[in-house]
Amino acid sequence: MKVPTSIKEYDLQRIIEETAIVRDMQPNELSGFLNCSPELKDRLDRAQEYDYKYLLEEIRALCQRYADERF
């Protein structure tokens, strides 16, 4: 997955872990979902450095939506 340089690995990991804890999921399940998400890949391809905060919010929302749909 191509990630803009401003998105630090720990930020993505933190979002995944926080969502997984709240939803009682395995972090690797969310990671797998994000890696396969065409929506996220498209968003990352169009991302600009200044978008950083918004991109993290979108990733968080994608994780939440996936968790919601799973139940």
pLDDT of residue 53: 74
Report domain extents, the chain. Answer: 9-70
How far is residue 29 from each of residues 10, 26, 56, 70, measured CA to CA in Å? 17, 5, 18, 11
Q: What percent of the chain has pLDDT over 90?
A: 0
pLDDT tens, position by position, 34-62: 878 887 777 777 766 666 777 778 888 88
